Amino acid sequence: MNDAWWTGPMLANSAETLPPGHMLFEPYVYDIRTKHTDSFGSRAYMLYGLVNRFSIGMIPAIGYNKISNGPNSSGVGVGDWTLQAQYRLTEFQQGSWMPTTAILVQETFPTGKYDQLGKRPGDGMGSGTYTTTVWLNSQMYFWLPNGRILRTRFNMSESFSRSASVKGVSVYGTDDAFRGRVKPGNGFFADLAFEYSLTQRWVLAMDLTYSHNDNTRLAGMDTVDPNNVPYPQNVSSNLGSSTAFGLAPAIEYNWSPAIGVLLGTRVIFGGHNSTASVTPALAINYVY
């Protein structure tokens, strides 16, 4: 097992938990590039081994939107932050076909601005909703004929969002006169990841992802102004479901078993009702 050191691939969570009293710190910086927007951001995974088989943590996020056909964000803003807890069910042993598996539960809080954006929709950094995500994570090792190690991860998750009030211009495309509520649909996500150890320090990684989000529903009142006579009007709309496929090649370099760096790019292909994007990212992984 010591023949390879790892930082982990760009996207797939680890099924391992930290030993009691140990910490992991992994900050990411990235740029989500779409046709008219560069969404610069940073999120950091901060995990702590509470007891045997059980880790807790948080994921703070900040961001800034640069928009080519409109005003940029007024400044760096806070995104939605996440708390999480993971319990390890099984652990891989060399020579066995039983992978490491774990249940991960995340709760995302609506700390990012999402409505009342006025003339700066680029200030929208969050969803406005409380979201619970349940993951089943797994991790396995294979020794290849050339003696190198291939590590694989396969993770699946389902997300459940509560409804939220929406006022004015929002990340959901509403205008300044809108007053109502939004209910995002459930989301499914799957990630199959591979890491090939070129040497003890150098690793090639690849994530293959699939996501599906159910219909998001908006309902409320809007003010329209035909002939300069404003009046309230009931509004009910469906933003529709969406599906997307993606991949994320990356390269890892590890100075030691405790610290490494990852450089990669996530590519989301424009599927049904989804936006294509390219996201270069840099991360440092440190375990203490």
In terms of phi and psi (left: phi > 0; alpha: psi -120 to 50; beta: otherwise), the region of 125 is: alpha
Smallest CA-to-CA distance from 153 within 55, 81, 250 is with: 250
pLDDT higher than threshold 80 for residue 231? no
pLDDT, average across residues 215-237: 77
Assess contact for 78 and 61: CB atoms under 8 A.
Answer: yes
In terms of phi and psi (left: phi > 0; alpha: psi -120 to 50; beta: otherwise), the region of 116 is: left
State residue 208's pLDDT score: 98
| pLDDT tier, 266 (very low <50, low <70, confident <90, very high otherwise) | very high
DSSP letter (8 states) at residue 122:
G
pLDDT higher than threshold 70 for residue 269? yes
| pLDDT tier, 230 (very low <50, low <70, confident <90, very high otherwise) | low
State residue 123's pLDDT score: 97
pLDDT higher than threshold 60 for residue 229? no
Strands 81-90 and 149-161: unpaired
| pLDDT tier, 184 (very low <50, low <70, confident <90, very high otherwise) | very high
Assess contact for 205 and 10: CB atoms under 8 A.
Answer: yes
pLDDT higher than threshold 70 for residue 250? yes
| pLDDT tier, 225 (very low <50, low <70, confident <90, very high otherwise) | low
DSSP letter (8 states) at residue 52:
T
User: Alpha-carbon Rg of the chain, whole angstroms?
Assistant: 21
Cα–Cα distance, 24 to 108 (Å, whole number) = 20
Assess contact for 134 and 107: CB atoms under 8 A.
Answer: no
State residue 236's pLDDT score: 86
pLDDT higher than threshold 90 for residue 232? no
| pLDDT tier, 190 (very low <50, low <70, confident <90, very high otherwise) | very high
State residue 235's pLDDT score: 81
| pLDDT tier, 227 (very low <50, low <70, confident <90, very high otherwise) | low
State residue 267's pLDDT score: 98
Cα–Cα distance, 141 to 94 (Å, whole number) = 8
Distances from the Cα of 59 to the Cα of 24, 237, 262, angstroms: 12, 32, 18
Q: What is the pLDDT of residues 164-181, one digit of tens each?
A: 999 999 999 998 889 999
Three-point CA angle 262, 266, 267, nearest 5° = 155
User: CA torsion 14→20→23→26, rounded to 10°?
Assistant: 10
State residue 226's pLDDT score: 55
Across 77-86, 87-96, 149-158, least confident range: 87-96
State residue 2's pLDDT score: 86
Tokens of 215: 């219909």
